[in-house]
Structures are given as structure tokens and as C-alpha cells.
Chains A and B, each alone.
Chain A
Amino acid sequence: MSMRSRIAVIIAVLITVVGMMSLFIVDEREKVLVLRFGQIKQVKTDPGLGFKFPWLDQVVRFDDRILSLETPVIEVTPADDRRLEVDAFVMYRIADIVQFRQALGAGGEREASIQLNDILDGQIRAVLGADGVTSNAILSPERSRLMKSIREAAQVRAKDLGLDVVDVRLRQTNLPEQNFDATLQRMIAEREREATDERARGREAAQRVTAVADRTHEETLSAAKRDALIIEGEADAQRTRILAESFGADPEFFDFYRSLAAYEASIKAENSTLVIPPDHEFLTYLQSAAPRVAN
């Protein structure tokens, strides 16, 4: 290979290398600052191909996606003086990379999250501790309005950092340790009340049912006895009527006939001894055969 062609190759390689070094690609997910000796030369926020001076210019890339931040748990005191432990989840993005770079320097996202955390800490305390915001409000549909106002308040301050706070969501809103136990105790007491009530109502119902049963028992039996007496009375009355109808046909003969039957039934060997005078009518013929019927 000749010298010339070798030189040509070397030059081609050099051009390629320099060309490559003066080109850069901005990804859809990024925004880019081109710095020359620390001075901002270019701001490229649209994806595509960019140009820079090789060696002199430095490309600094920033994430254009939504970044997230989870704040540590802080204790806030709402207007009703009941303390709540609160933490939040924040979604933000780097809106203005020039301001971002100027405010945070080379610290980048790490520094941003530290500063944003401080901002949120303050704003959460401010919003949830404001007048009229009670813990009941935090535990109610008010919550989303409160989250919105935290976001707006944080937004204003984050703007100085070149950040856009997209969303703030309260995650935990829990009770501090000592209130937590007290709440559990209260919940237990409520359940105990319910359990005791259930048991008492059970006994009440049982007693009620038993008493009703006993009462019905007595009622049924006494009604039956009453009916029985009525039936017996009717029976006696019927007997009296039947006998009276029959005996009434000849009262004198009834008297005679029934008396005889009564003597027969009542005068028994076991319980009676009769003392009979010899001149008793029955014994007339023991003494004489003279007829007595004739007269």
C-alpha cells in the first residue's frame, strides 16, 4: 500500500472520529445541556441528533421521565391536636434543566431529591397543620383536596429548582405508637361491648322464650281443666234431666222403688246389724197365718 493511501485512511479515520465526537444523540427519555468550560452553550430538550465541539463541549444528560420520591415518615399535628404519622409519595420531573443545573450544580438528581424532600417536609406540615384541618379531615374525602394543596405549595417552591411536582400522594396516615395502642384498646373495648351485648341478648331471648313457654303450658292445662269441669257439669245435668223425666212419671212409685234399691245397696253384711222387733211387718207371718192384706 502506498503512502498516500495510508495517509488517506488515517485522515478518513480521523474525520470519522472527530465527526463522531461532535455528534450526540438525545434520547426520548432525556434532556441535554451542552456545557463548554462549565458555561451552558446549548439546551436540547427534543430528541434527535445534536452537534457540539469535540473535546471542548461536555454533554450533560438529565432524565426527562417522571422521577419518584418517597418521603420519610414525619409526625404532624392537625388542628385537633391528635398526632398523625404521615409519609408521602411524590412524582416529579425535571422541567427546566437550565434552572435545575444552576440551582443544584453537579449534584443532579440526588441533590434534587434531598432538597425536594425538605420542601415536602415543610409543606406537608404546613398544609396538614393548618387551621381547620383536623385529623378527621385527613381521614375523609378531604384527603385528596389536601394532597392537591400540598402539591401546589410544593410546586411553587420546587420551581426554583427547575422541578415540576407532578403529584403528591399521602401514603401512611397512621397513629403514633402510644395512640396506636390506645386505638387498639378502644377497638377491643368496642368489640367486648358488642360481645357482651350479644350474650346478654341471647340470655334475654332465651328467658323470654322459656317464660312464654311456661305460661302457655299453664294456660293450656288450666283451659283443659276448665273444659273438663264444664263437660262434667253438662254430664251431671243431663243425667238429672234423664232421671227426672223418667222418675217423674210416678213419683210415689219412684219413692218406693228407689228406697228399696237404696236399702239393698246400703244395708250390707259387713257394716250392718239390724235389730228387728218381732212385730215388724216382715215378720207378721212368723206369728200368725192370718191374712193382713184383706183390710
Chain B
Amino acid sequence: MADNNGGPWGGGGSGGNKGNNNGNGGNDRKPDGPQIPEIDELMRRGQEQLRVLMGGKGGGGGGASGDGGGAGIPRSTFLFAGLAAVVMWLFSSFYTVKPEEQSVELFLGEFSQIGTNGLNFAPWPLVTYEKFNVTTNRSESLGLNDSRESGLGLMLTTDENIVDIDFQVVWNIKNAADFLFSLKEPEASVRAISEAAMREVIAQSELAPILNRDRAAIEANVRQLIQITLDERKTGISVIRVNFNKVDPPSRQVIVTAADGAQKRVSVIDAFRDVQAAEQERDQRERQADAYANQRLAEARGAAAQIVEAAEGYRATVVNAALGEASRFTAVLKEYQVAPEVTRRRLYIETLEKVLGNVDKIIMDNGEGGQGVVPYLPLNELRKTPQGGSN
């Protein structure tokens, strides 16, 4: 079919080499013999219809048709080509917009309207269109490279400390027309604006709050700042959120001279970790001291209780003994008063009996010479000898 088309078109251009044309046609028929008659038939029919349509001109054509039936073939081909062109045109002029998309239509280059979801008609070449995915979130990651050379990630704070920040900006298109017309390089611009905004916010914050509690506030500030910048330029971009991936002190090592003159390689993040370790150590020491204190105090309380209770025990012993002794004396005295003389003698004799009964004794005359003898008595030996003997 393509060959046939090419033939007639060429023929039309060169103006009347119909014999040649037919010859070509004849050549073509040989390989696909069975199909060609049908195609010829179709073409002839198309030619007839064309003649009818053309009316008077058809008559003129009729005169010319004496030159050969082949002249009809280009005309029907015209029709097909026209139909194909119309189909192609329709095909390129209708387009669909998916629910997540928006399209921007330009009438002769001028913005005409935003295409709605579903089937849209943009008659080419008067109307052109561009489609964007507007609901899908796009994200830009910044500062993922902690290298000095790129400068990415490392930012200076207002107290002249350095912090290593990686973050992500998530954005989508809120207005497709603005998006299309405002920025030449939207992604690069979003990246650059985001980085500038982050650096601006960081440059106005101190290090400690950045590392600890202010992250959410900074994220919100940066998001707002990016959004304001983008909105000032009507970029049609909406920043959904800003996420910190990493907010750390820099991990680059530098040589540090300690107080004792020793040099070592340390990074700031190590130093921060050491602070945390020190905090833990402090806590540990305090707890250990508390444990010691608890132990000492408990010991003291126990010992004190023991001492006091022992004293109370002594009190009980002494008082009870005294009460007993007093009671005994009172009882004996009562009976003594009934018969004092006899009782006195009895007590005396009984006691001496007990005392002298158990004791070594020497009954010795203490008469006239007694005074002189007593000092020479070997009292110790007298007492010990019987014991030694019994042993």
C-alpha cells in the first residue's frame, strides 16, 4: 500500500508519466498477486465516488480518464490519506487527564485554560497542551554529602558553631499553569531555595537548640520560608514538608592538643558523645554514692536500735532485781519484827554456818603470844597446800 501511495504521489508531482506508473504497478503486482485485484477494485470504487462528488469536474476528469484507469488511483489515495490525516489529527487533539494530573492548554501559545480530568479537546495546531502530575509528591534531598569541598550539609550557626545537616524537601504542584510559566528549572530552583532557606534559619539559631529541642520549629520555619519565596514568584509549587534526616555535630576529625600536651585526633561528634558519656558517668557516680549512703544509714539505724534496746534491757534487769531484792527484804523484815532476838541469832548462826562451812579456816588462839605469831604465818602456803595436795 505504501508503495502504491508513493507511486501515485510521485506521479502527481512529475505530472503525467502514467505509463511509467502503470508499469510500476505491474511490477508490484507480481509478488502479491491475489491481494492486488481487490485493492484495485476498492480503488476503482473510491474513484467512482470521487467523480460523483466532484460533479462537473468529474466530467473533465472523465475526459482525462481516457489516458488510463491508473489516474483514478491517486485520487482515492488522496481520500485515504485525508482520512488518515483526520484520524491522526483527532488522535493528537484529544487527550485524557488522569485524576492525579492537570493539563495546561495554550491557544496559539497563550494560556487559555486548565484541562479538567477526563477527555479534553485541544485542536492542533491552534491549541497545545502540557500535562503534569500534580498530586504526586516530589522530594529533594539536600546535604547528603558531608564533604568540605561541596559545602553541602555543613552549616554555620549564629554562635559560630558548625552543624552537619541533611534534610529533605517534599513538594508538589499546586497550580500547573504557574508551575509551567514561572521557573525554567523548577527542581534546581527548589533545591537552591531550600538550601538557602535552611542556611538562613540555621545561621540565626544557636547550636544547642538545633541539636536538641528546636528541630520541629526549624522544620516549620524553613518550610514557611521556602513557601514564601516560591509564592512571591508565583511558582505554583507547594512545599508539603521539610524533614531533617540528620542533625549532628560535624564528624570531621581535627588534631586537638590536650592539657597535658598530648595530641590526638578527635571529631566534634566524638566530643559530643563524650559529653553524653560524662553525663552518664555523673549519674552513675551519684547513684553509687546514694547506694553507699543508703547502706551506711541503714547500718547506723540498726546499730543505734541495738544499743538502745540493750540499754532498755539493762533497765529491766536492774529494776526487776531491785524490786525483787526490796520485796525479799521487806518480807524478812516483817517476820523479824515478830521475833527479833531469835531471828537475829538464827540469821547470824545460819550465815556463819554457811560461810565457815565452805571456807578453809584455822582456829588459833589469839592469846598473849598470838600477836607475835600471826605476822609470820605463811598464809598463802597454808591456803594453797591443801589445793596442791588435792591435785
Residues of A within 8 A of B (CB): 1-2, 5-6, 25-30, 46-49, 63-68, 70, 73, 85, 87, 89, 91, 135-136, 138-141, 143-144, 166-167, 169-175, 177, 180-181, 183-185, 187-189, 191-192, 194-196, 198-199, 201-203, 205-210, 212-214, 216-221, 223-225, 227-232, 234-236, 238-240, 242-243, 245-247, 249-250, 253-254, 256-257, 260-261, 263-264, 267-269, 272-279, 282-283, 293
Contacts and interface: CB of A to CB of B under 8 A. Distances in A.
B361 A274 contact: yes
Main secondary structure of the interface of B (DSSP, over half): helix
A29 to B, nearest CB: 6
A174 B156 contact: yes
Interface centre among A167, A192, A228 (most CB of B within 10 A): A228
Which residue of B162, B207, B288 has the most chain A CB atoms within 10 A of its CB atom? B162
B274 A139 contact: no
B90 interface: no
B277 interface: yes
A246 B229 contact: no
A250 B252 contact: no
A111 B344 CA distance: 145
Interface string B307-327: 110111011111101110111
B86 interface: no
A226 B105 CA distance: 102
Given A68-B189, A230-B311, A274-B361, 16 more contacts: A65-B182, A140-B204, A170-B196, A181-B254, A191-B274, A202-B284, A221-B300, A224-B307, A235-B318, A238-B322, A243-B322, A260-B351, A261-B351, A263-B352, A264-B354, A273-B383
B281 to A, nearest CB: 6
A144 B197 CA distance: 10
B311 A187 contact: no
A5 B85 CA distance: 22
B272 interface: yes
Contacts of A184: 162, 250, 252, 254, 267-268
A198 B204 contact: no
Interface in B269-320: 270-272, 274-275, 277-279, 281-286, 288-290, 292-294, 296-297, 299-301, 303-308, 310-312, 314-319
A167 B61 CA distance: 70
B119 interface: no
B326 A89 contact: no
19 contacts: A5-B57, A29-B181, A68-B188, A91-B233, A167-B233, A170-B200, A184-B250, A198-B281, A210-B293, A212-B293, A216-B297, A220-B300, A221-B303, A232-B311, A256-B344, A256-B348, A273-B360, A275-B374, A293-B341
B148 A187 contact: no
The 4 closest A-B pairs by CB, nearest first: A202-B282, A224-B304, A246-B326, A213-B293
A224 B305 contact: yes
Interface in B108-141: 108-111
A180 B270 CA distance: 17
B215 to A, nearest CB: 19
Contact of B363 (A25, A138, A218, A283): A283
Given A2-B60, A167-B229, A282-B356, A228 B189 contact: no
Nearest to A179: B160
A53 to B, nearest CB: 20
Nearest to B330: A246
Given A139-B156, A235-B315, A173 B199 contact: yes
A133 B197 CA distance: 21
Contact of B277 (A47, A139, A195, A269): A195
B229 A169 contact: yes
B258 to A, nearest CB: 8
A227 B347 CA distance: 43
B333 interface: yes
B232 interface: yes
B362 interface: yes
Contacts of B199: 170-173
Given A171-B196, A267-B355, A274-B359, A139 B254 contact: no
B359 A273 contact: yes
A220 B293 CA distance: 13
A183 to B, nearest CB: 6
A246 to B, nearest CB: 3
A87 B199 CA distance: 11
Nearest to A182: B254
Given A47-B108, A274-B359, A180 B162 contact: yes
A220 B304 contact: yes
A242 B322 contact: yes
Given A144-B200, A205-B282, A293-B345, A247 B354 contact: no
B42 interface: no
B82 interface: no
Nearest to A175: B156
Contacts of A25: 108-109
B110 A47 contact: yes
B222 interface: no
Interface string B245-278: 0000110101010000000001110111011011
B15 interface: yes
A85 B199 CA distance: 13
